[in-house]
Each structure stands twice: as structure tokens, then as C-alpha cells.
Chains A and B, each alone.
Chain A
Amino acid sequence: MKKISSIFFNAWILFSGLLALLSASFIFIYILKNGFKAMTWEFILSNPAGIPLGSEGGILPAIIGSLLLMLISCVFASILAISTAVYIVFYCKSKRMESLAHVVIQCMAGVPSIILGLFGYTFMVANLKMGRSLISAGLTLGIMIFPFIQVRVEKTFREFSSSMLLSSYALGTTKLYTLLRLVLPQSIRDIVSAVTLAGGFAMGAAAPIILTGAVIFAPIPKSLSSPVMALPFHLYILTGEGISIEKSYGTALVLILLLFIINLVSISLTFWRKEATK
């Protein structure tokens, strides 16, 4: 009886693993196959052209735009998320304050991204007069990924060995020194990987930027207040307006490859750190 159930269990694990692997590779191969034709240097390195716009030419401004959006949202969100986690784990003395912070963060995580876009539009674009711009869209994306990063960073801090913390305090060092010299260097790998994952998530999101800064066509942004093109929005326009199916697949492929590269960089970065601290 025991044996049968364990066979069943193993088969089930194998099946789920294969299913996940297969569906992921299916999506990737499907997009690779359909987008491959569109992938030329010209596509990657030139502006969109043709009538309607996008039916010819390339997607360079969208690639740059997406990278900039990711950068801005990651910087903004990680500063906020790390500070919040540091406060909650190391400085907050009151249990009630802590649970309040957790409730707020959970609520933020639950807000649909289009609503965040609406918030960004009314608050930043209209009220703060920041216009539909790189910065409005970047900050809106930052708000979206903030809970994602915060939860992971807080978990990393919580798992930090308390006897090491105590040893550091016992040498008379302050919390700040302990944080900067002991906790952060030890947690940086986890933080970097959380931020990169979140960055990929931000890069792929269309809903928050539709209202706050993404446009059908703009040159590479010159300043934070310029409107911006972004890959997911471009993809949405190309497909939604029926402009060019081939170019949509090309755009999708570029987006996926970028995410792939970002994750690869993150993994090798963290791997390198692991080697260095040995």
C-alpha cells in the first residue's frame, strides 16, 4: 500500500514538473518560431516606420524605453522596499505598527495593475503635473513592484541568524553598522535576485503605463519628462490594431529575450558573489 502511494506520488511530481517545463518551452519555442523572421538588426536598431506606424521599421525606442522604465521602477521600488524592510525588522518596536505595515503592503500587492495606472494618471500625471512621461510611468511601475520586493527582502532579513546579530551588538557596534557591514553584504544576493525578478515583472507590464506615459510613437526619451515607448505597449498596439502580426511576434521575442538576459545576468551576478565570499 505504501509502495503504491509512493509510486503515485513520484509520478505526480514528475508529471507536474514535465507539464511546467513543457508549457514554458512551448511558449518560448512558439514565439521564437513566429518572431524569428522579424528579427533583423534593422528591426532592433531602427525607429518604427510605415503607415500605419509600426508596420515597417523597428523597435529601438521601445527597447530603450522599456529598459529605462525598468531601471527607474527598480531603483525607486528597491530603495523604498529595503528601507521598509529594515524598519520593520530592525527598528519597529511595536507589534501593532508592524501588522499595520504588513496589511498596507498586502493591500498594495492586491491592487490590480490597471488601477495603479489610474492612480498614477490622476495623482502624478494630472495633480503633480508630471505629464505622461518616463518618470510617471516608471514610478507607477515602481509602486507595482514595491510589495513584491519588500516581502522578499523582509523574509531575507528575518532569516538572518540572530546569534550573529547578537554577536555584532555585543561588540558594541550600532544597528546601522551591523546592517551595513554584516546584514546587507550577506543578503545582497537575495536582494539583487528579488529586484531583478521584479524588474522583469515591471518590464512586461502594460496596464500601469498605458495611462501614465507609454505612447504609440516617441523617440528615445531625452529627459525624465518625455513620453516613452515600451515593448509591452507596442506589442499591444501592433496586435490590437492589427498593424503587423509578424512585427508583434518580433517584439514579443525581443521582450522575452531581454527578460532572459536580465535573469541570466542576475544569476551570474549572485553566483559570482557567492564565489567571492567563500
Chain B
Amino acid sequence: MNVLQLKSFYAYYGEKKIINDMDMKIEKNKITAIIGPSGCGKSTFLLSLNRMLEESGGRAAGNILFNGKDIYSMPKEEIRKRIGIVFQKPAPFPFSIYKNLTYAPVYYGIRDKSRLREIAIDKLKISGLYDEVKDELGMSALKLSGGQQQRLCIARALTVEPEVLLLDEPCSALDVKNTANIEKMLRNLAGDYTIVIVTHNLYQAKRISDYTAFMLDGELIEYDETARMFSSPQNRRTREYIEGIYG
């Protein structure tokens, strides 16, 4: 089943066309990896999926259906609640770790202190940050290391219980051990959440994703099951990209 479907979708920054005529279906409760060279429009693609594109000064044309409904005919707040995103550069709020995690739940009307605490701890455990910060939930989130901030932002995105989670290179600031933890977490989440992850690391795409999409200059070049994509890419440019990095 598809959660998200793009139909001749275009994205622009000003007059510049970043995404060109994209058609794509994203499977529910699977992990889809987006790969492609720097600047090809991967982040723009992710931003389009939950209407954050318009907040960063971009413009969209064409359709994106979320469970069959056009996201541009739904309130953008609702779309963003149901499709969460973790940006390429982590941006924790300048509050305590705890308050970062209760910021959104409070907005959605949860006032009960013990419930809030439960959410915070639960999401920290999922993102693998809990053991490192369990005694310092009151500490400013800005004092965390880059990788810890990244995991805090993942936890924060989970606090609103989204159905889809978009991740933009979540492991670029992490070491091997934390990367492995995040990958394990994503695999665990995949049963209940649809995950779209942009990554520069082809090994990672291969390890964790069910489907892989290769983008080049704003176009979807090839999109297939991950195993097939890496063993026998159909398109010459996909092959060159994959071999270029592997070989």
C-alpha cells in the first residue's frame, strides 16, 4: 500500500527548477532511501513531502497524495503533524532537553506532568539518547554534542507520533556506534512508521532500506527494491553512481 504518491510533481526555488516531473509511490511502513549526488534536490524532495518547502521559500507544482488526499488541500499543520521531519542540520530549541521534548505535546494539549515525562523518556530511549542524558534532562539542549543534538531532534520529531518520518542524513554527524544504534532504531520503527531517509552512505541505504530511489539533477532516475537496485541497476547512470562510490 502507498502512503505517499507524487504525480508529475515539480519544486522551484524562485525561477530555478529543483525537482522536475517526479512520479513516485512510497510504500507504507517500509524504509525508502533516497540517494544521489550533492545538490541533486534530495533535501528539497523531503521538504516537499510535508509542505515545509513553502516555509523555506520554495514553491511546488503538481500533486502529492497522502493516503489518497492531496496534501495541498489539507491544512499544512495537520500534514506536518502526521509527516514529521528531521533536518540535515539539527536545530534543538534553546531550552532544556526535557522542554525540547514536551514543546510539541504541550501544543497538542497534553498537560499531565507524568504523561509528558513518560513521552520524553520514551522517545529518548527510542533515539538511543536516554542513557547518556538521563540525569541531566534539565540541561540546556545546546550543550549536547552534535550527534546527541541530532538524536534529540529525532526524539523530538517522534513526540508528535507522526505516521511518516522523513530523515535528512541523520547519521552525518554520528560515529560508527551511534550510526549502528540509529539504524537499529529505524529498523524497529519500520513496522509502525513509514520512513524516508536521505543518505550519502550507500552501504547504509543497502543495509536498512527496503526501497531505494536514485535522484540526479532533480529527476528520479531509478526506483526499485533495494536488493535489486544494488545488484542489478537498470539505468547506466545509476550503475555509474553506485560503482563510482563502491569501486
Contact = CB atoms under 8 A, between A and B. Distances in A.
Given A181-B103, A278-B140, A171 B93 contact: no
Interface in A168-196: 168-174, 177, 181-182, 186
Interface string B73-92: 00001111110110101011
B38 interface: no
Interface in B55-109: 55-56, 77-82, 84-85, 87, 89, 91-95, 103-104, 106-107
B77 A173 contact: yes
A23 interface: no
Interface residues of A, number: 19
Contacts of A177: 107
A169 B93 CA distance: 12
A86 B160 CA distance: 27
Given A166-B87, A177-B107, A181-B103, A172 B81 contact: yes
A171 B94 contact: no
Given A170-B52, A170-B157, 4 more contacts: A161-B91, A165-B55, A170-B87, A171-B160
B93 A164 contact: yes
A167 B101 CA distance: 12
Nearest to B79: A172
B94 A168 contact: no
Contacts of A94: none
A172 B160 contact: yes
B156 interface: yes
Chain B contact residues (Cβ within 8 angstroms of A): what range? Answer: 20 to 34
Residue with the greatest number of chain A CB neighbours at <10 A, chosen from B85, B91, B92: B91
B56 to A, nearest CB: 7
20 contacts: A164-B94, A165-B55, A166-B55, A166-B91, A167-B93, A168-B103, A170-B52, A170-B157, A171-B81, A171-B104, A171-B107, A171-B157, A172-B82, A173-B103, A173-B104, A174-B77, A181-B103, A182-B93, A182-B103, A278-B140
A163 interface: yes
B107 A167 contact: no
Nearest first, the 6 closest Cβ-Cβ pairs linking A and B are: A172-B81, A163-B91, A172-B80, A171-B104, A172-B77, A167-B91
Interface string B156-176: 110110000000000000000
B119 interface: no
A164 B156 contact: no
A277 B157 contact: no
Interface string A141-176: 000000000000000000001011111111111100
Contacts of A186: 94
Given A181-B103, A278-B140, A171 B91 contact: no
